[in-house]
Amino acid sequence: MTRLFSHFQSSVGSKVLLALSGLGLVSYVIFHMLGNLQVFEGPHALNRYAALLREMPILLWTARVGLLGIVVLHIVLALQLSLRNHRARPIGYAVRRYRRASVASRTMAASGAVLLLFIIFHLLHLTAGIIDPSASDRLDVEGHRDVYGKIVHAFQNPLIVALYVVGQLGLGLHVNHAVSSSLQTLGLEHAALNRLFKAAGPSVALLVILGNVAIIVAVFVGIVR
């Protein structure tokens, strides 16, 4: 047990945990997007979906607490590894040349910071209803909490739309590099599959961005109303 704990305290172990937590968060992001896409099916589908989640409070709060724990672990590990890298080379390169590093990999810290701020804003806005409480207590005709109406109300505001689009760009950049690098860290590499693994990051990132932005734009232009 002590040996296992020491392994995860090492740089290699920390990278493995960072990869696993990252893939777990990406899985949640995809699941969350697929659930929200029910907005295109109308208020009944989305509000009923939200009601079903709230009808299982133990499972819902276990998932929320677990998700929060994974987020905190992911941030702590990322900061820890960043500090270790900085201590290993406190003096930066005189000339920095990027030969193979992508834009997504070079901006992981910046996209991560943008993503964290966006998550906090999103929770305060649509989840807690603190930023805009005007639509937080509405019920639909079936007596369910009107999540559909809250989304439609939110994305009619150009400022909110702009903030969410920026958040999705930060999410896309982060997911792009995170998926491919996590698969590499976990040793999921093979000569015949390298192209597939390299394409996994951009593909997942594009899927998430298109799905989430489609909801935002559809509401803003009046397709969903």
Asked if residue 225 belongs to a domain, the reply is no
Q: What is the pLDDT of residue 137?
A: 79
pLDDT of residue 84: 83
- The CATH number that applies at residue 34 is 1.20.1300.10
Tell me what pLDDT residue 221 has.
97
Asked if residue 3 is part of any domain, the answer here is no
pLDDT in tens, the chain (225 residues): 445 445 456 778 888 999 999 999 999 999 999 999 999 999 999 999 999 988 888 888 898 899 999 999 999 999 988 888 777 665 554 445 545 567 777 788 888 999 999 999 999 999 888 998 887 778 888 888 999 999 999 999 999 999 999 999 999 999 998 898 888 888 766 666 777 878 899 999 999 999 999 999 999 999 998
Cα separation, 96 vs 78, whole angstroms:
22
Q: Is residue 2 part of a domain?
A: no
Long-range contacts, 161-164 (Cβ 8 Å, 24+):
161/216, 161/217, 161/220, 163/118, 163/121, 164/118, 164/122, 164/212, 164/216
| Owning domain of residue 57 | 9-91+101-220
Residue 86 lies in a domain: yes
Note whether residue 1 is domain-resident.
no
Cα–Cα distance, 55 to 11 (Å, whole number): 42
* 155 domain residue, yes or no: yes
Q: Is 58 exposed, middle or buried (0-12, 13-18, 19+ CB in 10 A)?
A: exposed
pLDDT at 101: 63
Give the whole-angstrom CA distance, residue 182 versus residue 26.
11
Q: What is the pLDDT of residue 192?
A: 67
Phi, psi of 33 (to 5 degrees): -65, -45
How many domains, the chain? 1
Are the CB atoms for 152 and 222 separated by under 8 Å?
Answer: no
pTM equals 0.86
Tell me how far CA of residue 154 lies from CA of 44, 91, 133, in angstroms.
18, 46, 11
Task: Evaluate whether residue 160 is within a structural domain.
Answer: yes
Q: Is residue 96 part of a domain?
A: no
What's residue 45's pLDDT?
A: 95
